[in-house]
Amino acid sequence: MRYTSKYEESLSPFCRALQWFSLAFLITLPVNLAHAQDEFERQAISLPEPTYQAPNTVQTSVKLQRTEFKIGRNQTLSHALESIGSNPQTVHQISQCENAELFTQLQIGDKLVLWTDNEQQLQKIDLQKSLTLSYHLERKNGSFEIRQVEQPIETKIKMASGEINGSFYLAGEQAGLSPRTIMNLADIFAWEVDFVRELRPGDQFKVIYEKQYLNDQYLGDGEILAAELTVGGQRSLKAFQLKVDGEYLGYYNENGDSLRKAFLRNPINYIRISSRFQRNRYHPVHQELRDHRGVDYAAPTGTPVFAAGDGVITYRGWRGGFGNKVKIKHAGRYETIYAHFSRFGKFKNGDHVKQGDIIGYVGMTGFATGPHLHYEFRINGRHVDPLAVKFPDAEPVHAKYRGHFNHYSSIMLSQLMRIDPEHTQLALNFE
């Protein structure tokens, strides 16, 4: 039997019913509130994040308008802001920011993405400078902040090998190498091997190189770290890259001797040799026998011509039958001459040039019957055949780097020995 107080007995039946109803509501209230809060949070998860939250407010959100502006010749940030009707004082505000030069010193071709609110007030600017680098300007608390974001590139070391049964380039492709890496591999051994005449079917190559990725997306190949090339089935050439504190010093064999010669054998990626170094050659213009004291490389007009070695330009200009001519004095007793340019490179008289710098472009100026490069090589003022002369070697590994090189090359050599060209055609992970 339920106990009934005197107070309850004094209440009318209606009041007692109202009291019990209120008590039941209060008991269930916390449960109902918790359920409502859970339901709110559940729904809030699916709500889209507002594009822009107005400063010092909680409830107001504004959808921003996107505008693209590409910087043209003689244009600045001001022109971009004018295109969206922004306040002229905005440029001054931005110029007071830390790292303001990232947006005030723009280059032709920079593409800005400008974001404005409903009142045409600038809220932010995005500038993608490269695949990995971007600049961002954003309005915060009435002023602007600029930040630089750099995406890290992941470098993976790979190994590949292949057998040459025709084209060296095709063998590189079949081994999974990019065109860039194939050409770099050929350049490394260019002073030691004639890739047209010396390679034989069955010759093999091995290479350890870098591949670069951004967010797991392949960007391209990096540098070659080590390589080996078998020539004529017998001669084995090895190459190891030497870098000290990030500075590239060159490629060297296992003994520390440089694979680079003091001069390029050919100062042009030539199409064909149209005339060799020879005595008493019939001259097509003068129609008489004359010594041809250089090598002619037939190539399309505009083909780049490279400095054969480090040196100083001692002549750059017009010289009669040579047309546009460049002469370079190299260390010691060497001199090279380049003729018939259609136009010159950026280097002037007296400028120092490095091996491989572009000094001009193939043409047919002077006494030339077709577009070609005329190239001469002199030792102590005497003409010699550029295709037959023995070039001096570049400097070996410096003594202060010898220990570092020996340690690095021994590690790479052990990895090269692990690669089996007969069973390894695609790039492998470096272990």
Give the highest mean pLDDT range of 44-58, 194-208, 247-261, 290-304.
247-261
Report the pLDDT value the prediction gives residue 62, as an integer from 0 to 100. Answer: 66
Residue corresponding to tokens 């081994």: 175
Query: Given 120, 150, 180, which residue is the final one in a domain?
Result: 150
Dist CA 100 CA 110 (whole Å): 16
Query: What CATH number did the domain enclosing 238 receive?
Result: 3.10.450.350
Same domain, 353 and 424: no
Quick check: 121 pLDDT over 50? Answer: yes
Task: Judge whether 237 and 254 are in contact, CB under 8 Å.
Answer: no
Quick check: 277 pLDDT over 60? Answer: no
Dist CA 114 CA 85 (whole Å): 11
Report the pLDDT value the prediction gives residue 279, as an integer from 0 to 100. Answer: 59
Residue 95's domain comprises: 65-150
- Alpha-carbon dihedral of residues 39, 41, 47, 52, nearest 10 degrees? 150
User: Per the domain annotation, does 322 fall within a domain?
Assistant: yes
Which H/E stretch holds residue 417? helix 402-418
Across the range 178-186, mean pLDDT stands at: 93
Beta-strand relationship, 122-128 and 288-292: unpaired
User: Per the domain annotation, does 121 fall within a domain?
Assistant: yes
Q: Confidence class of residue 278 from pLDDT cuts 50, 70 and 90?
A: low
User: Per the domain annotation, does 290 fall within a domain?
Assistant: yes
CA max distance for the chain:
144
Across the range 232-261, mean pLDDT stands at: 91
Report the pLDDT value the prediction gives residue 425, as an integer from 0 to 100. Answer: 43
Same domain, 252 and 298: no
Same domain, 198 and 277: no
Report the SS3 class of residue 110.
coil
Quick check: 175 pLDDT over 80? Answer: yes
Tell me which residue of 358, 349, 345 sits closest to 328, measured CA to CA.
349
| DSSP 8-class letter at 421 | T
User: Per the domain annotation, does 371 fall within a domain?
Assistant: yes
Query: Given 150, 167, 194, which residue is the final one in a domain?
Result: 150
Report the pLDDT value the prediction gives residue 293, as an integer from 0 to 100. Answer: 80
Mean model confidence pLDDT for the chain: 81
Report the pLDDT value the prediction gives residue 27, as an integer from 0 to 100. Answer: 36
Report the pLDDT value the prediction gives residue 423, as an integer from 0 to 100. Answer: 52
Same domain, 380 and 277: yes
Report the pLDDT value the prediction gives residue 63, as an integer from 0 to 100. Answer: 84
Which ranges constitute the DSSP H helices of 261-386?
none
Quick check: 431 pLDDT over 90? Answer: no
What is the DSSP code string of 208-273? EEEEEEETTEEEEEEEEEEEEEEETTTEEEEEEEEEETTEEEEEE-TTS-BS-BSS-S-SS--SEE
Looking at per-residue pLDDT, the higher value among 279 and 239 belongs to 239
Same domain, 372 and 415: no
Query: What CATH number did the domain enclosing 303 receive?
Result: 2.70.70.10
Same domain, 315 and 417: no
Quick check: 34 pLDDT over 50? Answer: no
- Would you call 342 exposed, middle or buried from its count of C-beta atoms within 10 A (0-12, 13-18, 19+)? middle
Give the highest mean pLDDT range of 13-22, 39-48, 58-67, 248-257.
248-257
Report the pLDDT value the prediction gives residue 38, as an integer from 0 to 100. Answer: 41
Quick check: 408 pLDDT over 90? Answer: yes
Quick check: 286 pLDDT over 80? Answer: no
Q: Confidence class of residue 270 from pLDDT cuts 50, 70 and 90?
A: low
Task: Judge whether 370 and 340 are in contact, CB under 8 Å.
Answer: no
Same domain, 313 and 343: yes
User: How many folded domains does the chain comprise?
Assistant: 3
User: Per the domain annotation, does 396 fall within a domain?
Assistant: no
Residue corresponding to tokens 């070996």: 396
Across the range 350-370, mean pLDDT stands at: 93
Tell me which residue of 255, 277, 256 sits closest to 388, measured CA to CA.
277
Same domain, 124 and 94: yes
Q: Confidence class of residue 149 from pLDDT cuts 50, 70 and 90?
A: very high
Report the pLDDT value the prediction gives residue 43, as an integer from 0 to 100. Answer: 37
Same domain, 142 and 159: no
User: Per the domain annotation, does 397 fall within a domain?
Assistant: no
User: Per the domain annotation, does 40 fall within a domain?
Assistant: no
Quick check: 20 pLDDT over 60? Answer: no
How long a stretch of residues is the chain? 431
pLDDT in tens, 150-172: 989 999 999 999 999 888 999 99
Report the pLDDT value the prediction gives residue 47, as an integer from 0 to 100. Answer: 35
Looking at per-residue pLDDT, the higher value among 243 and 190 belongs to 243
Report the pLDDT value the prediction gives residue 185, as an integer from 0 to 100. Answer: 94
Same domain, 186 and 202: yes
Across the range 300-310, mean pLDDT stands at: 94
Report the pLDDT value the prediction gives residue 77, as an integer from 0 to 100. Answer: 93
Dist CA 291 CA 277 (whole Å): 8
Same domain, 130 and 194: no
Q: What angle do CA 383, 388, 394 make, to 5 degrees?
A: 90
Q: How far is CA 424 from CA 7, 31, 176, 209, in A?
A: 97, 68, 10, 15
Q: Confidence class of residue 421 from pLDDT cuts 50, 70 and 90?
A: low
Query: Given 150, 175, 207, which residue is the final one in a domain?
Result: 150
Q: Name beta bridge partners: 138.
A: 124, 145
Structure tokens at 419: 């690669």
Contact partners, residue 306, CB within 8 Å, separation at least 6: 264, 267, 268, 355, 356, 357, 358, 359
Quick check: 71 pLDDT over 80? Answer: yes
User: Per the domain annotation, does 34 fall within a domain?
Assistant: no
| pTM to 2 decimal places | 0.60
Quick check: 6 pLDDT over 50? Answer: no
Across the range 284-306, mean pLDDT stands at: 76
Report the pLDDT value the prediction gives residue 390, as an integer from 0 to 100. Answer: 82
Across the range 191-199, mean pLDDT stands at: 80
Quick check: 60 pLDDT over 50? Answer: no
* The residue type at 404: H
Ranges 122-126, 206-210, 259-263: which has the least confidence: 259-263
Q: Name beta bridge partners: 125.
A: 114, 137
Same domain, 160 and 112: no
Across the range 101-130, mean pLDDT stands at: 92
Report the pLDDT value the prediction gives residue 119, as an integer from 0 to 100. Answer: 83
Q: Name beta bridge partners: 161.
A: 206
* The residue type at 401: Y
